[in-house]
Amino acid sequence: MGNSQSYCQQAEEQRNEEERAVSNAVEELLSGESVTDEPTGSFVPDSVTAKINDENQQDSESEVMVVSAEDVPEAEAAVEEEEIEETEDEKEKKTIVLHTAPIDPRFPGANASRYCYVAYNEYYKCAKERGENNSECKAKARTYRSICPSEWLTHWNELREEGKWFGKY
């Protein structure tokens, strides 16, 4: 027991020291003092620093755009046209909602093939009773299409068309 207490005490002391170090560093940063004892001098030669400063000034100068008073109405019209185009593009975009098959507690993950078969049959039962355009039937169709392999579906659909389907519906 003595070892575990001393280990816990050591860990707690170490954590406290780290917290104190962090709080001291934060206080030094807030007060504006240097956190480290390293010299603050630059290791970059003055010629390189001058080149960098010249490039930064050239970049900032090239970003300035001069517009005459005659161009202002045309610029405003161009901005308005862009805004109109953006709103039209937003209207044209269709929202696509992707759904996956809901979890069916009757079929655990290892029995996914059975779930596929049952979902397929449930869709055709629903379609026969309520019609294919019913929203519930469409949901069942999405379910079986997301679970079942496409090869199975093409084979089953061929069997249905030939009248050889072994399902109930």
What is the tens place of the pLDDT at every residue in 104-114?
Answer: 676 666 677 88
Residue range 43-82, pLDDT digits in tens: 555 555 555 555 555 544 444 455 555 555 555 666 566 6
Closest CA to 103 of 49, 61, 143: 143
Provide the residue ranges of all domains of the chain, joining segments of one domain with +: 1-33, 109-162
pLDDT band at 14 (very low <50, low <70, confident <90, very high): confident
- Give the model confidence (pLDDT) of 92-142 as tens digits: 777 777 666 777 676 666 677 888 888 999 999 999 899 888 989 999 999
Q: Which residue has the tokens 């997301």?
A: 146
Environment class of 16 (CB within 10 Å of its CB; exposed 0-12, middle 13-18, buried 19+): exposed
